[in-house]
Amino acid sequence: MQTVAERVEHQLTDKGYVPVYTTRVIEQPWDTYTATDHETWATLFKRQRELLVGRAANEFVENQERFGMSADVIPKFSDLNRVLAETTGWELIAVEGLLPELTFFEHLANRRFPVTWWIRKPEQLDYLSEPDLFHDLFGHVPLLLNPVFADYMQAYGAGGVKAAAIAPEALANLTRLYWYTVEFGLINTPEGLRIYGAGIVSSKGESIYSLEADAPNRIGFDLERVMRTRYRIDTYQKTYFVIDSYEQLIEATRPDFTPLYARLADAASHPAGNVLDSDTVYQRGTGEGWLSDGDV
Ligand code: PHE
Ligand code: CO
């Protein structure tokens, strides 16, 4: 019998009402995956891998291979954890779904990455409103093998614990950074722009749109700019921020953010689709198809 993920409440956040699950860490109930679950994994895995060769950063696909991830079967966290233990020292833990923010930060700060154990239903292949196993495992886990990115994720967790103690506004600034890097980041490589954000690589439509559409802006990463920029949770992004390297990310975020939070508290936020004079513009989007309201 398939156990049901235990939802404890709905919490009003800057992303609207989101389900919050029990903070319990469980054993991945691998034996409860049905043939349909494995098929869903296989379908999504094949579809995305085909799209992502040449679109995602090379290390994304390479690292999936180092993990031994394949379309054949939903990976066992215990197998992936053996690879992580020998490399960057991260550990995957199975959870029911979204965690309260502070709990999530504490896990990251200790190099534990929470992965939703259940996978979406066949009718949700193209979209679901909360992270599932495919998003977390296929999207986030590969870059945990990259030593620099692995350190960035840990530093982010520690930064989250700190920001939570400062002010809700500080946390909102930090959430934008996560959104525009870990979830929706692009990276500039000798072969052109590539995807590294988990929210993009786990979406068929956005994998193409983020790189190839004329509508969105593509702008060089700037820490303060990103932390002031609102974002979309219900449509593709209006703006993608481009890093030059993971080193750039970790260097830019190394300083103490306390004075930055104080400065940003008095600064207006930028609408998701704005282009500023100070931006390094890779592409100025046409804005076609954008909804005028709904930036969070
Ligand atoms: N340097 C940040 C701080 O002092 C912590 C941080 C690191 C935040 C990396 C995000 C990413 O709060
Ligand atoms: Co995610």
Do 182 and 140 form a contact (C-beta atoms < 8 A)?
yes
Mean pLDDT across the stretch 250-260? 97
pLDDT-derived band of residue 179, with 50, 70 and 90 as boundaries? very high
Shortest-distance atom of ligand 1 to CA 162: 12
Count of CA atoms in the C-beta half-sphere (13 A) of 153: 27
Q: Does ligand 1 have an atom closer than 6 angstroms to the CB of 246?
A: no
Q: Answer whether residue 8 shows pLDDT above 70.
A: no
Q: Does ligand 1 have an atom closer than 6 angstroms to the CB of 253?
A: yes
Looking at residue 292, its pLDDT comes to: 87
CA separation for the pair 89, 81 (Å, rounded) = 9
Q: Average pLDDT, whole number, for the chain?
A: 94
Looking at residue 15, its pLDDT comes to: 61
Least Cα distance to 22 among 132, 112, 97 occurs for 97
pTM beyond cutoff 0.85? yes
Ligand nearest 178 Cα, by number? 1
Residues in the chain, total: 296
Burial class (CB in 10 A: 0-12, 13-18, 19+), 15: middle
Mean pLDDT across the stretch 57-65? 97
